[in-house]
Structure 1
Amino acid sequence: MGKVKKMKVSKSSGEPDRMLSLADQIVEDKSVRHTGRVKVRKRNENDDEFVDEKLSRKILEQARAQQEELEEEHGAGAGFSKEKRPKTVRLGHGASADADGSESDEEELDEDDGCYENIEISEEDERALERFMSQKPGTRRTLADIIQEKITEKQTEIQSQMSDNASVQMQALDERVVNMYKSIGQILQKYRSGKLPKAFKIIPALRNWEQILYITEPDRWSAAAMYQATRIFASNLNAKMAQRFFNLVLLPRIRDDITEYKRLNFHLYMAVRKSLFKPAAFFKGILLPLCQAGNCTLREAVILSSIIIKISIPMLHSAAAILKIAEMDYTGANSIFMRYLLDKKYALPFRVIDAVVFHFLRFLTDKRELPVLWHQCLLTFMQRYKEDISSEQKESLLELIRVHAHHSITADIRREIVNSKCRDEETGTSHEMPMGFDD
């Protein structure tokens, strides 16, 4: 097929040239002509106006910031109310993982993920639990106490060189450094969100990090600053150093917040969750010292246990914690922690099983009326590990529940014990209960 000839147009009139044939004129009339004119459509004044995508994003960010300020002004510092707390909680503004060696600042949680059940304790229950609390609890030592002791030793020239990596390293600090970290401490007192000063992020890398941290006055930090600091220190310190941070800084703040507000601030709750990413440091720095103190309240135990049950913890760390709790003097909080750890359904070693059995058998000669928490813990243990006890332990436990009985729980415990198959029936060997355990 040949090319279609273009129709010649007269320069003067713009009309098609009449000299073309009729066929060429018909083809020219049906073809579409490309024009260089750009059509500009005029908008009516009543047309809807649309906001640019970047502008709408900025508007939403400003509205979210104003909403957070309103919540803080109306008492959100003691914990977000259930009605006002958003389903997605973001702490910080997306600082990179390279800035502090940890994962992203943003953590998305469901509405019920950061919550725990409301605890109501009657006066009768409080009096019953007080009978099992230590009458002479150990004194709480804070970071300030330790630093002050070291300063005194330095001034009196009694301080000796310590080889332990966990000891506080005291050094003479430049006045400009002290002033800088004091100003950082003032920033952390009012911190709500955003990036932290870079000078604060390098503290874990310093040899005398505890001395520098003391200058910032951790007991006056805001709850959001405590969460960010926990993220940084848990990510950049080894287990022994992180244990000291949890024990000297985080634990006193948690206990003071629960004592004052009867609940735990959301940011501090998230800080405890973050500390569980170093399980050894969490157990040695928070859980075990809390149990050894002998004055851990039921409210504190329930709040921390609600975090433990939600986080995956390696079996060996939990087994070591159960072993240590079983050796301690009994308190109601110990029963709560042990119950929640046993309820995680680990395949525990026989040594830990024997330690828990011996823990309960110590009450054969105890004449006190045991609280419901003790019976619930024993029931949980029998439900999870009834197949792992020996026949001798089985008989001793039956004798135990005859001495200490509960009208609604003991029947279930007896049923679990009677219907269980002992471990020595499967292997043909008998395991004696250990009388003592090593660290």
Structure 2
Amino acid sequence: MGKAKKVKVSKGETKEPKIGLADQIELEKEVKVKNRQKIRRRADEEEYIAPTLTKKILSQARQQQLEIEDEIGPSNLEKPKKSKVNLGSDFSDDEDQSSDDGEPVEDVYYENINIDEDDERALQMFMSKDAAPMKTLADIIMEKLTEKKTEIETQFSDAGTIQLQDLDPRVKAMYEGVRDVLAKYRSGKLPKAFKLVPTLKNWEQILYITDPTKWSAAAMYQGTRIFASNLKDKMAQRFYNLVLLPRIRDDLAEYKKLNFHLYQALRKALYKPAGFMKGILLPLLESGTCTLREATIIGSVIANNSIPILHSSAAILKIAEMDYTGANSIFLRIFLDKKYALPYRVVDGVVFHFLRFERDTRELPVLWHQALLTFVQRYKSDISSEQKEALLGLLRKQSHHSITPEIRRELQHAKCRDIEITETKPELMDIKDT
């Protein structure tokens, strides 16, 4: 048997001490603590990129910078501007909607609306040719002042009429100062005297002094917030009709788009839905001069916000009974797309609205056919059998090459409300027969 070879221990290694078997067993039972050493590099020990590679990186960066400047110009690279800001519907008076460098930001607050020229021409055919100009607050105040000169004393107690009082010169001077502030207002706190206007009896007279036609768009938004929160429905309706609606129509006529703050003011006006319907929507349609752009933008406010069913039902019924203009079809379709559980009276009113055009010799716009399609898709099970037959007869007189076949298909597969009642509750029909 050969001798056991000795294991050579290299330099730097340490020999393990000889331990007996009993001691080894005891050591295995104990928990061993590992000595972990964290290796931390000092700042001066960090690896750096080689100078030749750094030179190449910098030269490529300069070359790319020059290419970008040639494409979009060096001035556009100095101050990158935000193209879109997500703003909530509620922001305080102290908040300023501005960019980091203090400049105002243009906000994209609704989708870019593409107005079809053919639709716009079709709507103009149905507009009223001799419509009276819309009255503003200034017009009505001047009429009342003229009446007051001819009368000894005029007293107005109804909320729907303007109350005029003799004003203290100091009060008039104060609100003339408020007028100057509102004309230049952008953000921040409003004058306290302005916030008190809705609590006054002659609030319309005071409002006239502040000259709402010259308010900035931000001041109009803040004013709508205050008046919508503090006025009753009838008074809010007058503010919307005499101040807000003329401003919105003027802005759209001049700039072909609506300022962000005015769009937000429309949304705030929905806080009083009855005032919104009677002060903005219905007067706009009754004027007979509502353009496609106005209908589309104001309709987007209605489509994207919640409105109680009672106010929407009343608006649908009123629109259905109006003299027809192309804008009526736009608003009807928007309300119908909200998928309310409408009362049968409202459904019947919409059916009769469409049946009026059976003998109309004019070529109806595509918007009319689209509104009829939306109505049939949403409420085909809520119409009666007689109404279904009448609508099928209407399609023979008024048709569109691509929309009418779809309307006819929806009607032919519809299960009418009287058939559903017969199938589910036949005892009701027995009672009706007796």
Question: Shorter-chain TM-score: what band?
Answer: 0.7 to 0.9
In structure 1, the partner of 2:112 is 117
Residue 314 of structure 1 aligns with an amino acid whose one-letter code is P
SS of the aligned residue for 2:354 comes to helix
In structure 2, the partner of 1:385 is 379
Cα separation, 2, equivalents of 1:361 and 1:243 = 32
Q: 2:226 aligns with which of 220, 225, 232?
A: 232
Kindly indicate whether the alpha-carbon contact (under 8 Å) linking 1:134 and 1:295 is maintained by their aligned counterparts in 2. yes
Cα separation, 2, equivalents of 1:128 and 1:249 = 30
SS of the aligned residue for 2:194 comes to helix
Cα separation, 2, equivalents of 1:120 and 1:396 = 33
Kindly indicate whether the alpha-carbon contact (under 8 Å) linking 2:155 and 2:163 is maintained by their aligned counterparts in 1. no
SS of the aligned residue for 1:329 comes to coil
In structure 2, the partner of 1:193 is 187
Correspondence list, 1:272-283, <5 A: 272-283=266-277
Correspondence list, 1:267-346, <5 A: 267-346=261-340
Change (3 A) 1:175 1:223: same
Residue 223 of structure 1 aligns with an amino acid whose one-letter code is A
In structure 2, the partner of 1:98 is none
Deviation at 1:156, TM superposition (A): 1.0
Kindly indicate whether the alpha-carbon contact (under 8 Å) linking 2:85 and 2:107 is maintained by their aligned counterparts in 1. no
State percent identity of aligned pairs: 65
Deviation at 1:166, TM superposition (A): 2.0
In structure 2, the partner of 1:260 is 254
Correspondence list, 1:17-416, <5 A: 84-88=83-87, 114-122=109-117, 124-157=118-151, 160-416=154-410
Kindly indicate whether the alpha-carbon contact (under 8 Å) linking 2:286 and 2:322 is maintained by their aligned counterparts in 1. yes
Cα separation, 2, equivalents of 1:391 and 1:84 = 54
Cα separation, 1, equivalents of 2:96 and 2:153 = 40
In structure 1, the partner of 2:62 is none
Change (3 A) 1:92 1:412: closer
Cα separation, 1, equivalents of 2:92 and 2:337 = 37
SS of the aligned residue for 1:120 comes to coil
Kindly indicate whether the alpha-carbon contact (under 8 Å) linking 1:91 and 1:105 is maintained by their aligned counterparts in 2. no
Cα separation, 2, equivalents of 1:92 and 1:249 = 22
Q: What is the alpha-carbon root mean square deviation over aligned residues?
A: 2.1
* Residue-pair matches, total: 336
Change (3 A) 1:149 1:252: same
SS of the aligned residue for 1:326 comes to helix
Residue 365 of structure 1 aligns with an amino acid whose one-letter code is R
Q: What is the CA deviation profile of residues 354-406 of structure 1, one whole-angstrom value per residue up to 9, with x for unaligned ones?
A: 00000000000101111000000000000110000000000000011111111
Residue 388 of structure 2 aligns with an amino acid whose one-letter code is K
Deviation at 1:163, TM superposition (A): 3.4
Residue 83 of structure 2 aligns with an amino acid whose one-letter code is K
Change (3 A) 1:88 1:178: same
Q: What is the CA deviation profile of residues 247-298 of structure 1, one whole-angstrom value per residue up to 9, with x for unaligned ones?
A: 0000000000000010100000000000001100000000000000000000
Cα separation, 1, equivalents of 2:84 and 2:335 = 29
In structure 2, the partner of 1:424 is 418
SS of the aligned residue for 1:306 comes to helix
Kindly indicate whether the alpha-carbon contact (under 8 Å) linking 2:89 and 2:264 is maintained by their aligned counterparts in 1. no
Kindly indicate whether the alpha-carbon contact (under 8 Å) linking 1:150 and 1:159 is maintained by their aligned counterparts in 2. no
Residue 405 of structure 2 aligns with an amino acid whose one-letter code is A
Stretches of structure 2 that go unaligned for 5 or more consecutive residues are 1-80, 98-105, 423-427, 430-434
Residue 344 of structure 1 aligns with an amino acid whose one-letter code is K
Residue 196 of structure 1 aligns with an amino acid whose one-letter code is L
Kindly indicate whether the alpha-carbon contact (under 8 Å) linking 2:319 and 2:328 is maintained by their aligned counterparts in 1. yes
Change (3 A) 1:292 1:300: same
Q: Which moved more, 1:131-140 or 1:317-326?
A: 131-140
Deviation at 1:128, TM superposition (A): 2.0
Q: What is the CA deviation profile of residues 26-53 of structure 1, one whole-angstrom value per residue up to 9, with x for unaligned ones?
A: xxxxxxxxxxxxxxxxxxxxxxxxxxxx
Kindly indicate whether the alpha-carbon contact (under 8 Å) linking 1:361 and 1:400 is maintained by their aligned counterparts in 2. yes
Change (3 A) 1:229 1:378: same
Residue 358 of structure 2 aligns with an amino acid whose one-letter code is L
Kindly indicate whether the alpha-carbon contact (under 8 Å) linking 1:401 and 1:410 is maintained by their aligned counterparts in 2. yes
Residue 420 of structure 2 aligns with an amino acid whose one-letter code is E
| Rg larger for | 2
Kindly indicate whether the alpha-carbon contact (under 8 Å) linking 1:116 and 1:306 is maintained by their aligned counterparts in 2. no
Cα separation, 2, equivalents of 1:304 and 1:359 = 22
Kindly indicate whether the alpha-carbon contact (under 8 Å) linking 1:188 and 1:222 is maintained by their aligned counterparts in 2. yes
In structure 2, the partner of 1:7 is none
Cα separation, 2, equivalents of 1:294 and 1:94 = 37
Q: Which moved more, 1:227-236 or 1:397-406?
A: 397-406
Kindly indicate whether the alpha-carbon contact (under 8 Å) linking 2:85 and 2:108 is maintained by their aligned counterparts in 1. no
Kindly indicate whether the alpha-carbon contact (under 8 Å) linking 2:122 and 2:326 is maintained by their aligned counterparts in 1. no
Residue 340 of structure 1 aligns with an amino acid whose one-letter code is I
Deviation at 1:136, TM superposition (A): 1.5
Kindly indicate whether the alpha-carbon contact (under 8 Å) linking 1:92 and 1:193 is maintained by their aligned counterparts in 2. no
Stretches of structure 1 that go unaligned for 5 or more consecutive residues are 1-81, 96-103, 431-439
Kindly indicate whether the alpha-carbon contact (under 8 Å) linking 2:333 and 2:371 is maintained by their aligned counterparts in 1. yes
Q: TM-score, normalised by structure 2?
A: 0.74
Kindly indicate whether the alpha-carbon contact (under 8 Å) linking 1:92 and 1:105 is maintained by their aligned counterparts in 2. no
Cα separation, 1, equivalents of 2:222 and 2:410 = 46
